Amino acid sequence: MKIAIFGDSISTKVEMKTLTEKFLEQMGVPGEVVLFAVAGEDTSVAKKRLVQVVPANADYNFIFFGANDAAIHHDVSPEQFTENLIKFATALGVEKTTFLTTPYVNEEAIAETQLMVGRSNANVSQYVAAAKKASEQTGAQILDLNHAMTVYPGSDEFVGADGLHFTRVGYELVTSLIAVNVRTREMEKSHD
């Protein structure tokens, strides 16, 4: 089984691949994870790379953008974000695509370090809603990572000193959610 993760810098880290594969193995559904991720990209720029993802013909595609789209200086509106996600899901196959919502950001760390300026949770929430809208319009699944991060009382544990990029704990959360999604879908197939 092949799983493709199409995203930005958060998805470039080796942990995204190795932890997802580890959790899949532990759940009895081993798979190969292929990363299609470029640091700094938003969905408008990533449209050019869709031609690399489609030929991979993955069994499951996880689209994980939004951290850059939601940054004020990237100039991608929530409406454009929705349109771009719809384009991705349509090209990859809505029945095998899952959107991950834009992750929580630590605004205090962003203000302190000044490394990831132009990002706030108020702005992120618009992109979470936009991803949900794309899911509703296409029938692609949605994995609400933002909710999983914010209902936990220690949300800041998931992101590093810059307030945006994930810690090991953040990668454990996102990859375990991906693995559970894949396992659930595989179990549903076997019960059809």
Q: What would the pLDDT profile of 44-63 be if each residue is shown by its tens digit? A: 999 999 999 999 999 999 99
Whether the per-residue pLDDT at 91 is higher than 80: the answer is yes
Tell me 9's DSSP state.
Answer: G
Whether the per-residue pLDDT at 182 is higher than 90: the answer is yes
CB 178 within 8 A of CB 62: yes
Whether the per-residue pLDDT at 101 is higher than 80: the answer is yes
Average pLDDT over residues 31-42: 97
Q: What is the pTM of this model?
A: 0.96
Backbone φ and ψ of 181, nearest 5°: -60, -45
**Which parts of 75-187 are beta strand (E)?**
97-100, 141-143
Whether the per-residue pLDDT at 178 is higher than 90: the answer is yes
Whether the per-residue pLDDT at 189 is higher than 90: the answer is no
Whether the per-residue pLDDT at 192 is higher than 80: the answer is no
In this structure, CATH architecture of domain 2-190: 3-Layer(aba) Sandwich (3.40)
Q: What is the pLDDT of residue 164?
A: 93
Q: Among 19-23, 76-80, 185-189, where is mean pLDDT lowest?
A: 185-189
Report d(CA 188, CA 155) in Å as an integer.
Answer: 31
Q: Among 19-33, 116-130, 160-174, where is mean pLDDT lowest?
A: 116-130
Q: What is the pLDDT of residue 42?
A: 97
Q: What is the pLDDT of residue 116?
A: 73
Average pLDDT over residues 77-83: 98
Q: What is the pLDDT of residue 27?
A: 96
Burial of 116 (0-12, 13-18, 19+ CB in 10 A): buried
Q: What is the pLDDT of residue 43?
A: 98
Residue with tokens 């009895």: 28
User: pLDDT over 70 for what percent of the chain?
Assistant: 99
Sheet holding 32-37, edge to edge: 32-37, 2-7, 60-64, 97-100, 141-143
Two tokens at 10?
């958060």
Residue by residue, DSSP assigns 38-106 as -TT--HHHHGGGHHHHGGG--SEEEEE--TTTTSGGG---HHHHHHHHHHHHHHH-GGGEEEEPPPP--
In the structure, what pLDDT confidence band is assigned to residue 113 with cuts at 50, 70 and 90? Answer: confident
